[in-house]
Structure 1
Amino acid sequence: MIEMLWVHNLKEAESESIRRTGLGERWANRHSACPFGICLRSVTANNRTVPFSHWAYRPPYLPETMSIAVGTNSNLLNEPLLFQTPFGKRPDQYPLEKAQPLEHRNGLREITRLEMVSPTANNISPEFQAVINSNILTIREGKDYCMEIGFDGELQGNQLDFCPELPIRVFW
């Protein structure tokens, strides 16, 4: 899952229980910090292996027995906030009563390319490198942060560029 980092309540983001995520600091530096979060999920329910070094984040909305694995690079504002949820599943794996719509009106089916453009692509942490090594996304250097999302092999040859208002380009 790709997240655009946004802070609704700065006081909450800077609170003791959330401070280590760096959300408040990212928000304060939002014009220069990486605006993305990358959330991973286990491939199978029994495999909870996290591919990067992490710490246990216990947000107020989760039961005390659950936590989210947050990358130990969370203090690096030039990289995406990395995390893995213990409860995440592929959208097509949820029971029907909890499933979200999977049919896109333009017929898009699957993300086949995810590439992050970053001004600091040549200087990344071991945590972010572990995500790159797991073939979830690629990274290349560019002037501004941007996430390029390709669908279905980009066979139709179409694209939408939302930059600079929203740092996302979509290809299908």
Structure 2
Amino acid sequence: MEIDHIFICIEDPEKLAKILTEFGLTEGEPNSHIGQGTANRRFFFQNFCLELLFLQQVGRALSPLTARTTLHARLTDKSLDVSPFGICFRPSPNNIKVENYSTWQYFPLNIPKTFIIDIFDAPISEPLYEYMDFLTPSSRQIHVQRRHSLGVKNLTSATIHTPFAKLDSELKQDLEKLEIIKFKTNETHILELEFDHQRQGQRQDFRPELPLIIKW
């Protein structure tokens, strides 16, 4: 499997989406997750999507359908014990097979009933790991016609900086071994994204507004 999209849990979508557009990213269509109580602002790239996820309906996010996802806690709890990130994977020909790990199946109301989302069992101090076997690289072709004035195209590396970087699970070990995600020790949670192998030699740190670093 490989990264399809990563979300950052936020509180002020208008402000934070504006920060990214003023930086040089072109925003795609937003999306509301019916029945889940969340919505997002999205930024599409050739092989990846960055999402800003925010809470719309508290009751829906705490419902029996959604509560186990831990989304409400990730969106509201700002302590270091909670990761504000979610990493969503799609199929790819590598050695990571979902059936080799402990997962549970989530059936949100905003996707067809025949689609399955596998959520990996992991502590809330780690990102929420999701696998969507119905996604393919071509799933986003309708979106990638947009061009970013920044000139970035492809995600080439993703690093999670976290107080919980220890490779203490088989999933984390395999993700790092296959260079799908890197984990580095840090006092706070930060998502670092590298585009196009950082050929332009540039770097932007969006803290404190967003726990995000972009290199291009």
Counterpart of 1:129 in structure 2 is 173
CA positional deviation for 1:62: 2.2
Ranked by relative contact order (alpha carbons within 8 Å, sequence separation 6 or more), the top structure is: 2
CA positional deviation for 1:131: 2.8
CA-based RMSD: 2.3
Q: Output aligned runs, 1:90-129, within 5 Å.
A: 90=137, 93-94=138-139, 98-122=142-166, 124-129=168-173
TM-score if structure 1 supplies the norm length? 0.83
CA positional deviation for 1:105: 2.1
Give the Cα separation in 2 of the matches to 1:2 and 1:65. 23
Determine if the alignment matches structure 1 residue 57 to structure 2 residue 61. Answer: no
CA positional deviation for 1:130: 3.3
Counterpart of 1:20 in structure 2 is 68
2:89 corresponds to which letter in structure 1?
Answer: L
CA positional deviation for 1:25: 2.5
Determine if the alignment matches structure 1 residue 69 to structure 2 residue 118. Answer: yes
Counterpart of 1:163 in structure 2 is 207
What percent identity do the matched residue pairs reach? 27
Structure 2 alignment gaps of length 5 or more: 10-53
Give the Cα separation in 1 of the matches to 2:205 and 2:135. 29
CA positional deviation for 1:8: 2.2
- Match among 55, 58, 66 for residue 7 of structure 1: 55
TM-score if structure 2 supplies the norm length? 0.68
CA contact (8 A) 1:52 1:131 kept: no
- Match among 117, 121, 128 for residue 81 of structure 1: 128
Q: How many residues align?
A: 164
Give the Cα separation in 2 of the matches to 1:14 and 1:95. 30
Counterpart of 1:40 in structure 2 is 89
Give the Cα separation in 2 of the matches to 1:150 and 1:61. 30
**Structure 1, 143-152 or 124-133: larger mean CA deviation:** 124-133
CA positional deviation for 1:68: 0.3
